[in-house]
Structure formats: C-alpha cells, structure tokens
Amino acid sequence: MSELSRFGISVEKGLLKSFDKLINQQGYANRSEAFRDLMRDALVKSQLENETETGNVIGSLTLVYDHHASDLNDKMNDLQHRHYHLVVSVTHVHISHDDCLEVIVLRGEVQEIKTLANSLLSLKGVKHGQLFVTLPSTEIVKPKTNSANNLNNIEK
Ligand code: NI
C-alpha cells in the first residue's frame, strides 16, 4: 500500500450511526476501508463520465435472456463478432429450461463498450442485464492542483 494520509471528517451523529450500521452489515472491518471504497467509486464514476480523460476500461456485461427467442443467439453473436476487439471472454450458463445467463468480459474504450452493451441489452428477448465498468487502481485520476485547492477551501 502507498503512503497513507489521515484526515478528520465532521458529520451529523445520526448519519454516522447509519453509516456505521451499513458498513458493519456489509462486512467492512473499519470506516477507513469503507471510505477508501467510496472514494475510489466516486473517482472511477467521475472519470468514466468525462470522455476526454478516459482511455481503456475493463468491465463485464451480464445478460439474462430467453433461450427460445428466435434469432437472439445469432444477433448476440453477430454483435460480438462485429466488436470482437472489445470482447475478452464469454461465459454462458443455462439457468433454467427457458433462460440463459451470459457474462461478457469487455475491455476497450468506454464509449464503444457502452454502445455495444446497449445494443445487446435492447435486443428483443433480453430480459435483464447490467454493465459494470471499472479502471485499474493505478489509472484512477489523481486530483488536479486547482481541484485540491477547491477542496481545501471547502474544508475552511
Ligand atoms: Ni443456455
């Protein structure tokens, strides 16, 4: 782990009590680990929303779809072959007589991944699904100098 910084936070008692209850239920060993995860999540989301600062990302698209839907498998395969450079791997599970689940691991430019995910999610016969994208921790953007100054001003 890199060098640690310590800081204090002022927060309403009720909010802290609820937060502690939540992170305890989630299994966090302490507040610090919970805050680190919240901070990384906020930074990844911010970076992914800003196209100009986003390079390659990695993620997974999970889809549940109707095994009997006509041509759906062909359409899903066609889309993935058309964007083969984004597709790392595919895992298929037959979850019931009627339904299949697929987890598609994707790596590439975030907008291309979102476009492919939306194309797959909107196919007729796809019942449920969600895209998850993230960045290696080394690529999470460090605050810019002026942003850090703004944070200091907020604290005062
Ligand atoms: Ni299946």
DSSP string, the chain: ------------HHHHHHHHHHHHHHT-SSHHHHHHHHHHHHHHHHHHH-GGG--EEEEEEEEEEETTSTTHHHHHHHHHHHTGGGEEEEEEEE-SSSEEEEEEEEEEEHHHHHHHHHHHHTSTTEEEEEEEEE--GGGSPPPPHHHHHHHHHHH-
Q: What is the predicted pLDDT for the residue at 21?
A: 95
Q: What is the predicted pLDDT for the residue at 122?
A: 95
Dist. CA 116 → ligand 1 center (Å): 21
Q: What is the predicted pLDDT for the residue at 148?
A: 44
86 burial (CB, 10 Å; 0-12 / 13-18 / 19+) is buried
Q: What is the predicted pLDDT for the residue at 144?
A: 46
Contact 75, 122 (CB under 8 A): no
Dist. CA 53 → ligand 1 center (Å): 38
Q: Check: pTM over 0.85? Answer yes or no.
A: no
Dist. CA 153 → ligand 1 center (Å): 55
Dist. CA 112 → ligand 1 center (Å): 26
Dist. CA 131 → ligand 1 center (Å): 20
Instruction: Give, rounded to a whole angstrom, the gap between the first and last alpha carbons of the chain.
Output: 29
pLDDT < 50 stretches in the chain: 143-156
Give the CA dihedral 140, 146, 151, 156, nearest 10 degrees.
160
Q: What is the predicted pLDDT for the residue at 155?
A: 47
Q: What is the predicted pLDDT for the residue at 116?
A: 97
Dist. CA 135 → ligand 1 center (Å): 30
pLDDT in tens, 81-96: 999 999 999 999 999 9
Nearest to 129 by CA among 105, 102, 97: 102
